[in-house]
Chain A
Amino acid sequence: QVQLVQSGAEVKKPGASVKVSCKASGYTFTGHYIHWVRQAPGQGLEWMGLINPNTGDTKYAQKFQGRVTMPRDTSINTAYMELSRLTSDDTAVYYCARESLWPAFDIWGQGTMVTVSS
């Protein structure tokens, strides 16, 4: 079936970087944008950016410009989100999501908890 499977929970120290993976299966990986959304504990959903897996083109939220990259590896149908210079404010669950032909997020990964703590 169509699914996105993310990598496991991470604990990082302030100033470090984290890289979360999102493996797609059950559909043509290059046919749909992948978005990244995060959710801090008890808070709402925050859009971080997107990648076009076909071209590698990316677009990032202004808030994360210079601190986030979203590469992909089409040989293994996997998208990544790397966030650098982590602070405690980056403690959150990070989700990848597939964008459907109508721009909506129809398939979501299970989420990856990233904890930033000294």
Chain B
Amino acid sequence: DIQMTQSPSSLTASVGDRVTITCRASQSISTFLNWYQQKPGNAPKLLIYAASSLQSGVPSRFSGSGSGTDFTLTISSLQPEDFATYYCQQSYSTPRTFGQGTKVEIK
């Protein structure tokens, strides 16, 4: 199975900050990497697919990059509605493993 490791596990930031979350795969997954946002009590929401493609309707302040084993999710200017938990997921093979999540909290 491919292991996905996110860092940090949590971070505290202010509105307007630039935030970066990293995700590392235990083997090369090309660009088969997706990012999800989850708010308490809600299902996850797809933000980025194929490492860098923005899902329809997602604000352009979200961006993704990377290939192979190292990936990044960036929020260019954090907004109040962005405080949530973010998960990476590989879709290179089954099982479709997720990272452990990064909780973004308000400073």
Listed in ascending order, the chain A residues whose CB lies under 8 Å from chain B are 35, 44-47, 50, 59, 61-62, 95, 97, 100, 102-106, 108-111
Contacts and interface: CB of A to CB of B under 8 A. Distances in A.
Nearest to A103: B91
Contacts of A105: 34, 36, 44, 46, 89
B98 A45 contact: yes
Given A45-B87, A104-B50, 7 more contacts: A44-B101, A47-B97, A62-B1, A105-B89, A106-B46, A106-B49, A108-B43
B32 interface: yes
Given A102-B49, A102-B53, A108 B95 contact: no
A57 B50 CA distance: 25
* SS class, residues of chain B in contact with chain A: loop
Interface bracket on B: 20 to 34
B55 interface: yes
Contacts, number: 61
Kindly name the residue among A45, A47, A59 whose own CB sees the greatest number of chain B CB atoms within 10 A. A45
Those 8 A-B pairs whose CB atoms lie nearest each other, nearest first: A103-B91, A108-B43, A104-B49, A104-B34, A45-B98, A47-B96, A44-B101, A61-B95
Interface string B50-82: 100101000000000000000000000000000
Nearest to B35: A104
B56 to A, nearest CB: 9
B100 interface: yes
14 contacts: A45-B36, A45-B89, A45-B101, A47-B95, A62-B1, A103-B91, A104-B46, A104-B49, A104-B50, A104-B55, A105-B89, A106-B46, A108-B43, A110-B43
